Amino acid sequence: MAKSNLVIFDFDGTLYPFRPYDSEQTLVLSHAKTKGPLFRLRARLFVRADRRGAFNNPQFYKRYEKIIRDVDPELVEKTARDLAGLLSEEDRAAIRTLTEVADLAILSLGTENLAEFFLEELGLREEFFLIKAKRIRWKKGKAYLKVNIGEAEGKRTNLEALRKTYKKIVAIGDGPTDIPMLEAADLGLLLIWGAESSPHPFELHSSLPSACNRAKEFLTS
Provide CB contacts within 8 A for 209, sequence distance 6+: 90, 91, 93, 94
Using only C-alpha atoms, the chain has a radius of gyration, in whole angstroms, of 17
- The span from the CA of 138 to the CA of 36, in Å, is 23
Does the pLDDT of residue 54 top 90, yes or no?
yes
- Kind and range of the H or E element at 204? strand 203-205
Mean pLDDT (the chain) is 97
The predicted-structure confidence for 162-195, as pLDDT tens digits, reads as follows 999 999 999 999 989 999 999 999 999 999 999 9
Q: What is the mean pLDDT of residues 61-73?
A: 98
| Amino acid letter for position 220 | T
Q: What is the mean pLDDT of residues 100-115?
A: 99
The predicted pLDDT at position 103 comes to 98
Residue ranges per structural domain of the chain: 5-17+87-219, 23-81
The predicted pLDDT at position 120 comes to 98
In the structure, what pLDDT confidence band is assigned to residue 98 with cuts at 50, 70 and 90?
very high
The predicted pLDDT at position 27 comes to 99
In the structure, what pLDDT confidence band is assigned to residue 199 with cuts at 50, 70 and 90?
confident
pTM of the model as a whole: 0.96
The predicted-structure confidence for 120-160, as pLDDT tens digits, reads as follows 999 999 999 999 999 999 999 999 999 999 999 999 999 99
The predicted-structure confidence for 25-46, as pLDDT tens digits, reads as follows 999 999 999 999 999 999 999 9
The predicted pLDDT at position 2 comes to 82
Q: What is the mean pLDDT of residues 197-204?
A: 92
What is the distance, to the nearest Å, from the Cα of residue 33 to the centroid of all Cα atoms in its chain?
24
CA dihedral 106, 82, 65, 139 (to 10 degrees): -90
The predicted pLDDT at position 144 comes to 98
- What count of residues does the chain have? 221
Which CATH number applies to 5-17+87-219: 3.40.190.10, 3.40.50.150, 3.40.50.1110, 3.40.50.1000?
Answer: 3.40.50.1000
Of the chain, the percentage scoring pLDDT greater than 90 comes to 96
The predicted-structure confidence for 7-20, as pLDDT tens digits, reads as follows 999 999 999 999 99
